[in-house]
C-alpha cells in the first residue's frame, strides 16, 4: 500500500517538509516495517483489533529501542534524539500511514516514552534511575492516569486520594479508561492530596503495578475493538514518598504542562490513518465496476475523492504550520487546539467518505475502511474532546 498512499499525499503537497535526518529516519523505518514488523504481525496473527500479547509487544519495544527508534521522540535530557516538532510529526505520520497493526508500538505510544515526556522538569535523579531511564530503554512500561468517573473533561475534579502516613502515601480510588495499563509496569497517577473536599490539590505519583492494593479491571473494549485500555483500582495502595513527582499540588501542571505539544502530536496519527482510508477508497474506486464502468468514472465518486484529498492536504498544512510555530517558540495553545480539532474532525470525514465509496463492503466488519472509520471516530473524543478544543480556542479569542 501505503508507502504509495503516503507518497501520493506528499506528491500533492510538494517536496518533503522535514530535515534530511527525518527523511533518513523514515527510510530506515520503512525497511524496519517491511523486513521485520509486517512479517512479525502476520506470523502472530496480530490485527488492528486483536492486538498483540504482552510478550510480543515487549519484543517490539526492545527491537525498536535497539534500532534507535523507541525513545527518539523524548527530549535530549531524557535520552531522546531532540527532533524538531516538524520532524516528529512527519515521522509519526509516516509510521501510521504504513497500516501495520504494530505501528503504535515503534515509539511505545501506549505505555512507553511518550508517557514520560511531561516528567522532564520535575523528576529527581532517583526518578530518572528508577522510572525514566528504564522506560526510555524499553525495560519497563508506564501508563498515564488522570481520568476518573467524575473527572473527565474536568480533569481537576479528582476523587482518588493520596494520604500521607510517615514516609509513605496511601492511595485509594479508581482511574478509568487508562490506555496501556494492561501492559504497564508503572502508572503515573494523579491524586488529590487535599484534606479539604472544597480545595483542589492534585499531586503526581508513580505507582508500581506490582504493589499490593493495585489492581486492574479490563472488562470493556473500545469502539475500534482494542482492549489496551483498563481501569486501575487503588485500594490502600502504599508507596514511598519518594514516588511523588514534583511538588505537592503541582500535579495538574505536570499533567497538562505539555498539553499543547501533546495535542499537536496526536494529529499525525489521525492523518496517517486518514491517508490509508483515502488510498483504500481510491483503489476501490478504480477497481469496482458498476453499470459497465469503474465507479471512479462517476463524478459523484470523483468529487468525494477530491474533497478527501483537499481536506487531507489542508489538515496536513495546519499540522505542519502549528509544528513550525511551536518549534519557533510560540505559545501555540490555541493553534494546537485548532490542529487537534480540525485534524480529528477531518480525518473522520475522510473515513466516512471512504466507507461510502466502498458501498456494502465498507460496512462489513473486517474490512480496513470499516476499522479506520471506527478508529478515527475515537480521536474526536480522546485527549480532549472537540468541544474542549473549541473552548480553548474561544478562550484565546475572547
Ligand atoms: C480509549 C480511551 C483511552 C483513554 N486513555 C486515557 C489515558 O491513558 N489516561 C487518562 O487519564 N484518560 C484516558 N482516557 C479518558 C479520556 O481522556 C476522556 O474520556 C476524555 O477526556 C473525555 O472525558 P469523559 O469521557 O469523562 O467525557 P465528559 O467530560 O463527560 O464529556 C461528555 C461530553 O460533554 C462535553 N463537555 C464536557 N465538558 C464540557 C465543557 N466545559 N464545554 C463543552 N462541552 C463539554 C464533552 O465534550 C463531551 O461531548 C481515555 C478514554 C478512552 C475512551
Residue 156's pLDDT band (cuts 50, 70, 90)? confident
Tell me the percentage of the chain whose pLDDT exceeds 90: 83
Q: Tell me, which fold does domain 255-397 have in CATH?
A: Butyryl-CoA Dehydrogenase, subunit A; domain 3 (1.20.140)
Average pLDDT score over the chain: 93
Q: Which CATH architecture best describes the domain 142-248?
A: Beta Barrel (2.40)
- 196 or 173, which is more confident? 173
Q: Which of 109, 152, 184 to mutate to test the pocket of ligand 1 (most atoms within 8 A of CB)?
A: 152
The predicted model gives 89-105 an average pLDDT of: 96
For residue 259, report the distance from its CA to the centre of ligand 1, in Å. 14
Q: Measured between alpha carbons, how far is 216 from 160 in angstroms, rounded to an integer?
A: 15
Domain 3-119's class? Answer: mainly alpha
Dist. CA 382 → ligand 1 center (Å)? 6
CA distance 264 to 291: 44
For ligand 1, atom 30, name the residue with the nearest CA.
152
Residue 366: burial class (beta carbons within 10 Å; 0-12, 13-18, 19+): exposed
Question: Cell numbers 489538515 label which residue?
Answer: 315
Pocket lining for ligand 1, CB < 6 angstroms = 143-147, 152-153, 177-179, 222, 229, 381-385, 387-388, 391
The domain segmentation of the chain, as residue ranges, is 3-119, 142-248, 255-397
pLDDT per residue over 20-47, tens digit each?
999 999 999 999 999 999 999 999 999 9
Cα(391) to centroid(ligand 1), Å: 14
Most informative mutation of 151, 174, 374, 382 for ligand 1 (most atoms within 8 A of CB): 382
Q: Which residues contact 44 (CB under 8 A, 6 or more apart)?
A: 52, 53, 56
Q: Among residues of the chain, what percentage have pLDDT more than 70?
A: 96
The answer to whether residue 11 scores a pLDDT higher than 80 is no
pLDDT at 1: 40
For residue range 290-344, list pLDDT tens digits in order.
999 999 999 999 999 999 999 999 999 999 999 999 999 999 999 999 999 999 9
Amino acid at each position: 500500500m501505503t508507502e504509495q498512499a503516503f507518497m501520493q499525499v506528499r506528491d500533492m503537497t510538494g517536496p518533503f517538509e522535514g530535515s534530511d535526518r527525518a527523511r533518513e529516519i523514515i527510510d530506515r523505518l520503512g525497511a524496519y516495517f517491511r523486513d521485520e514488523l509486517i512479517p512479525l504481525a502476520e506470523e502472530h496473527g496480530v490485527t488492528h483489533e486483536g492486538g498483540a500479547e504482552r510478550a510480543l509487544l515487549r519484543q517490539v519495544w526492545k527491537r525498536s529501542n535497539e534500532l534507535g527508534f523507541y525513545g527518539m521522540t523524548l527530549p535530549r535530557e531524557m535520552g531522546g534524539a531532540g527532533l524538531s516538532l516538524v520532524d516528529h510529526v512527519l515521522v509519526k505520520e509516516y509510521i501510521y500511514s504504513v497500516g501495520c497493526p504494530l505501528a503504535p508500538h515503534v515509539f511505545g505510544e501506549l505505555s512507553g516514552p511518550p508517557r514520560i515526556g511531561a516528567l522532564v522538569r520535575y523528576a529527581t535523579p532517583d526518578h530518572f534511575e528508577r522510572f525514566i531511564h528504564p522506560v526510555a530503554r524499553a525495560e519497563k512500561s508506564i501508563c498515564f492516569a488522570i481520568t476518573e468517573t467524575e473527572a473527565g473533561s474536568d480533569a481537576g475534579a479528582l476523587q482518588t486520594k493520596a494520604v500521607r502516613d510517615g514516609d509513605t502515601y496511601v492511595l485509594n480510588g479508581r482511574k478509568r479508561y487508562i490506555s496501556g495499563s494492561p501492559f504497564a509496569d508503572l502508572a503515573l497517577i494523579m491524586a488529590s492530596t487535599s484534606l479539604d473536599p472544597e480545595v483542589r490539590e492534585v499531586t503526581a505519583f508513580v505507582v508500581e503495578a506490582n504493589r499490593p492494593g493495585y489492581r486492574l479491571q479490563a472488562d470493556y473494549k473500545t469502539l475500534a475493538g482494542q482492549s489496551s485500555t483498563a481501569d486501575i483500582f487503588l485500594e490502600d495502595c502504599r508507596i514511598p514518598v519518594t514516588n511523588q513527582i514534583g511538588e505537592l499540588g503541582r500535579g495538574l501542571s505536570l499533567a497538562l504542562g505539555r498539553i499543547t505539544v501533546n495535542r499537536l502530536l496526536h494529529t499525525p496519527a489521525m492523518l496517517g490513518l486518514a491517508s490509508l482510508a483515502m488510498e483504500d477508497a481510491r483503489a476501490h474506486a478504480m477497481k469496482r465496476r458498476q453499470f459497465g464502468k469503474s465507479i471512479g468514472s462517476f463524478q459523484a465518486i470523483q468529487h468525494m475523492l477530491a474533497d478527501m484529498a483537499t481536506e487531507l492536504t489542508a489538515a496536513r498544512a495546519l499540522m505542519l504550520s502549528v509544528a513550525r510555530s511551536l518549534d519557533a517558540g510560540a505559545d501555540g495553545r490555541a493553534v494546537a487546539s485548532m490542529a487537534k480539532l480540525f485534524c480529528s474532525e477531518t480525518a473522520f470525514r475522510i473515513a466516512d467518505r471512504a466507507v461510502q465509496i466502498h458501498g456494502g463492503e465498507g460496512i462489513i466488519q473486517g474490512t480496513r475502511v470499516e476499522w479506520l472509520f471506527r478508529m478515527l471516530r475515537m480521536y474526536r473524543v480522546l485527549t480532549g474532546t472537540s468541544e474542549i478544543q473549541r473552548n480553548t480556542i474561544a478562550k484565546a479569542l475572547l
